[in-house]
Structure 1
Amino acid sequence: MRIAVVFDCLYPFTTGGGEKQYRQFAEEFAEAGHTVDYLTRRLWEGPDPVLDGVRARAIAPAYELYDREGVRLPATALRFAIDVFRHLVRHRDTYDAVIVSATPVLNVFAARAALAGSGVVLAVDWLEVWTGQQWREYSGPVMGRVADALQQLAVRLSPVALGHSAHTIQGLRANHVPHEPVRSPGLISAVRDVTPRLDTPAGAAPTVLFVGRHIQDKQVDALPPALALARAELPGLRAVISGEGPERDRVIRAAEEAGVREAVEFPGFVEEDELHRLLAEAACLVNPSRREGYGLVVVEAASYGTPSVVIDHPTNASTELIEEGRNGFVARSAAAADLARAIVSAVRGGDALRRTTRDWYEEAIRTRTIANTARGILEALETARTARR
């Protein structure tokens, strides 16, 4: 097939779970023998590159996606949707199938309109499906209701809907998806050369690690007060809070107010090699996020035998990856006492917990891989093409 993957970001020019996921989808499709275009913004200098058999095509300029608070800008979401529409209208005969990310949701309407009557199979990939309350908290009472209504309509206009967690599948059904969505087995990357650290270094101060953007939904400011409580039981405990974002200053203030500023490092965004080192050396990963569509960083940490602490929240799908006491713990909330309790349990789990975490990962890479998910998507596309014929 001739396949287009549509997303406004592309790894490694931009970083994040969605970028890695769509880049890997495209690579798996190309490896299976299909011709693949990755349609995105211009994020590079010079001619369009070919990345591992995938042709990156700039269909839009490199405009900003977020405001200073980390909220997606409606104007640029609309602008990219228009660019998607223009490209697909001009190239209706170029593709047999198009996979469009529903982030942002306007992409769905653009692709559906551009491909109407063309016979091209359209699959919509849903990283998340939000509730009306989430939209109102994110975009305000008016725009939030508009966004919620658009999401409901986009779900109903998804000929082939893809989801990667039970939470997302439930959201698609609740919004009346027209056909049973395709549930992926997982999003674990191909096994890379890693050396899991399964033994606690003698005399080393244990460190907890956060990785990600500093935005409200990540609740990064919950980590310093939890660290302060955990240090009462584990005096040498330290933290590394990597990443950047509009909440960064607030997180630093939280560390100062909790009296743990000297025990916390803020390295910002780090290079891939440094990230792998941090994941390998951490006593545990702590992700107090209340909103995750999958939680890929939990898997990345587990590849090194590093357990994770996440929080129980209705919109946090990463809890589906945690087997309590085997590869981490689920805190009851992001409250300092709850989060500290889970952190202490993970750190005290020591070598035994690191070994069971790595065992969990070894099992997961046999069944929950992104390669298996890509094969399932290709089967769904072929089924849809056959049905249309």
Structure 2
Amino acid sequence: MKKKIALVVSSPMTFKAFYKNHIEKLQEKYDVTLIANFDQPEPIFDGVKQIALNLERKPSIVSDLKALKQMIDIFKKEKFILVHSTTPKAGFITQIAGFIAGVKFRLHIFTGQVWASQSGIKRQALKKIDVAIASLATHLLADSESQVEFLIKESIPVKSKIKVLGNGSISGVDLNKFTPKESDSLKSNLNLQNKAFIFLFIGRLNKDKGIFDLIKSFEIVHSKHPEAALLIVGSDEENILPFIQNHVLYNKSIFYHEATPRPQDFMAMADVLCLPSYREGFGSVIIEAAACGTPSIGSKIYGLTDAIEDGKSGYLFQVGCTESLANKMIYSIENPEALQQASKYGMQRAEENFSDELSSKLLVNYYHLILGD
């Protein structure tokens, strides 16, 4: 009889984006149940049981207490030997419920801290949630070594309790999906066919991702290299799109495209990916772009220092410094040979260290180690 385990997240999209390969591999050995805020009863993975639980992203005392009671009841009924949570809200509720219900093994993976870029009371309140998660979990993972160093420095977990699997990343990269193959028509469809060099941002549009810094830096780049273009792809979380659309360079050198189910097409088309983020757990988009042959420029923060080998697979700049970012962008345009070397090295690094197959193998082996298999 297979041992019963549960994976818990807030949004089912987390399963789709990061856990598909993990779930397939875990199914071979374990009886897997998925718990999340499922809107539809139809299973998102064949043969995998799922339980709907209302885990609202924003704090709500009434809703969170209700979810906690329901999760305690679920854990007592299902008798999981291990529960594995991801994201802060899911982690907080899961680890409390698991402790109360007496689940023997309680695992949480840290994938970045929302409070890292906060200050004052809000920072302290959010930080205490991570402290509670770390205290109640029996085992902890993080998706980058530099994140572990940050968490220990901030006194979140004890050093002996947390580790990183392999070289980091929550799920690795699907090398069959993310390849250097370009779409023949994408440039034309985006009106980029006449642009000699394309910088790409792909991700959620919010202040913490450094969108405003990127646009300001690109203005400097454009003054020296008007042939360059900046393509911004992603969902607008903080009403930033009007600012982009009102920019003097919009639809001339700065372009926008809504969130896409095929990020690999945009990555393979671009010359350089830019991620001027103020907080990241790892920066999976960096490795996905590398697998497509596209080097990255990223801010020098924990998480991204693991995803980018500075000067080898891409370039790091001082976070928040638009001039530094602009200089790296200009360097990438004016030094094509160095950029080509970064492309080749990044592809090799992604293939050797960050494939989804390797990531899943490491996670399954970690489960075996915990559960004594």
1:324-343 equivalence runs, <5 A: 324-343=310-329
The 1:337/1:142 distance shift into structure 2, 3 A limit, reads closer
1:7-18 equivalence runs, <5 A: 7-11=9-13
Counterpart contact for 1:308–1:346, Cα < 8 Å: no
- Determine the structure 1 residue equivalent to 2:190: none
User: Aligned pair 1:33/2:29, yes or no?
Assistant: yes
- 3-state SS, counterpart of residue 74 of structure 1: coil
Amino acid at match of 1:206: F
1:21-170 equivalence runs, <5 A: 21-30=18-27, 32-44=28-40, 47-51=41-45, 53-60=47-54, 65=57, 73-75=58-60, 79=63, 82-83=66-67, 85-92=69-76, 93-104=78-89, 105-116=91-102, 118=103, 120-129=104-113, 134-136=117-119, 141-170=120-149
- Determine the structure 1 residue equivalent to 2:355: 369
Counterpart contact for 1:162–1:183, Cα < 8 Å: yes
Number of residue equivalences: 354
The 1:279/1:74 distance shift into structure 2, 3 A limit, reads same
Give the gaps of 5 or more residues in structure 2.
188-192
- Determine the structure 2 residue equivalent to 1:264: 254
The equivalent position to 1:182 in structure 2, one of 142, 163, 167, is: 163
- 3-state SS, counterpart of residue 142 of structure 1: helix
Counterpart contact for 2:8–2:84, Cα < 8 Å: yes
Deviation at 1:244, TM superposition (A): 2.4
Which has the larger displacement, 296-305 or 358-367?
A: 358-367
- Determine the structure 2 residue equivalent to 1:235: 226
d(CA) in 1 for partners of 2:138, 2:338: 46
Deviation at 1:289, TM superposition (A): 0.5
- 3-state SS, counterpart of residue 286 of structure 1: strand
- Determine the structure 2 residue equivalent to 1:345: 331
Amino acid at match of 1:5: L
Amino acid at match of 1:265: F
Deviation at 1:224, TM superposition (A): 1.7
The 1:210/1:81 distance shift into structure 2, 3 A limit, reads farther
- Determine the structure 1 residue equivalent to 2:175: 191
- Determine the structure 1 residue equivalent to 2:17: 20
Give the gaps of 5 or more residues in structure 1.
66-72
- Determine the structure 1 residue equivalent to 2:197: 206
The equivalent position to 1:278 in structure 2, one of 258, 266, 269, is: 266
Counterpart contact for 1:166–1:317, Cα < 8 Å: yes
d(CA) in 2 for partners of 1:256, 1:330: 29
d(CA) in 2 for partners of 1:160, 1:210: 35
The 1:168/1:58 distance shift into structure 2, 3 A limit, reads same
Amino acid at match of 1:49: P
The equivalent position to 1:220 in structure 2, one of 208, 211, 214, is: 211
1:242-253 equivalence runs, <5 A: 242-249=233-240, 252-253=242-243
Amino acid at match of 2:312: R
User: Aligned pair 1:2/2:4, yes or no?
Assistant: yes
d(CA) in 1 for partners of 2:179, 2:113: 36
Deviation at 1:382, TM superposition (A): 3.5
- Determine the structure 2 residue equivalent to 1:310: 298
TM-score (norm. length: structure 2): 0.83
The 1:195/1:311 distance shift into structure 2, 3 A limit, reads closer
TM-score (norm. length: structure 1): 0.80
User: CA-to-partner distance for each residue in 1:168-224, whole Å, 9 max, x for gaps?
Assistant: 2123434253543121223322321454159xx996521111111111211201122
Counterpart contact for 1:225–1:254, Cα < 8 Å: no
Deviation at 1:231, TM superposition (A): 1.6
The 1:247/1:150 distance shift into structure 2, 3 A limit, reads closer
- 3-state SS, counterpart of residue 51 of structure 1: coil
- 3-state SS, counterpart of residue 161 of structure 2: coil
RMSD of the TM alignment (CA)?
3.0
d(CA) in 2 for partners of 1:57, 1:4: 10
Counterpart contact for 2:12–2:36, Cα < 8 Å: yes
Counterpart contact for 1:292–1:317, Cα < 8 Å: yes
The 1:40/1:224 distance shift into structure 2, 3 A limit, reads same
d(CA) in 2 for partners of 1:227, 1:176: 37
The 1:189/1:363 distance shift into structure 2, 3 A limit, reads same
- 3-state SS, counterpart of residue 83 of structure 2: strand
Deviation at 1:22, TM superposition (A): 3.4
User: CA-to-partner distance for each residue in 1:128-166, whole Å, 9 max, x for gaps?
Assistant: 2466x6443xxxx33432222232232122210011111
